[in-house]
């Protein structure tokens, strides 16, 4: 079983950056594909980015492509989401998730484990 804890959220100005971290517990972090999602109150959880177990494959939603970067370090049991050129539309609670699979899915229902989320607010 994997436990995930996100950190790094906060208040950011438009055009600014934030780097979210997802710390995982358990010895099998390297077996899991990781995903980042975000959710605005009253809306469905939206897939943002994903990375394969060995970090060789990364995937991005069109809305963040070229601005966000997902990475991981299996030795540190940590995944990151570097977010640049932020806009108010990026304001949301950001969640990391883990799935025991080779190719990371893009649907939230396919992920096995979730963190508690971290709020990112981008001011205009």
Residues 60, 48 contacting (CB under 8 angstroms): yes
Which helix (H) or strand (E) segment holds residue 98: the answer is strand 92-99
Question: At CA 67, angle to CA 30 and CA 53, rounded to 5?
Answer: 10
Using one digit for the tens of pLDDT, what is the confidence trace for 52-68? 999 999 999 999 999 99
Using one digit for the tens of pLDDT, what is the confidence trace for 15-30? 999 999 999 997 789 9
The tokens describing 55, both together, are 């970090």
Q: What is the mean pLDDT of residues 57-82?
A: 97
């Amino acid at each position: 079983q994997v436990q995930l804890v996100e950190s790094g959220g906060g208040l950011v100005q438009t055009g600014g950056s934030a780097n979210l971290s997802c710390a995982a517990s358990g010895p099998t972090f390297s077996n899991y594909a990781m995903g980042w999602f975000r959710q605005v109150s009253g809306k469905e959880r939206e897939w943002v980015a994903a990375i394969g177990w060995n970090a060789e494959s990364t995937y991005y939603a069109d809305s963040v492509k070229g601005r966000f970067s997902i990475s991981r370090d299996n030795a540190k049991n940590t995944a990151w989401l570097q977010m640049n050129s932020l806009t108010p539309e990026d304001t949301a609670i950001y969640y990391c998730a883990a799935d025991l699979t080779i190719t990371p899915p893009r649907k939230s229902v396919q992920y096995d484990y979730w963190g508690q989320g971290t709020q990112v607010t981008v001011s205009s």
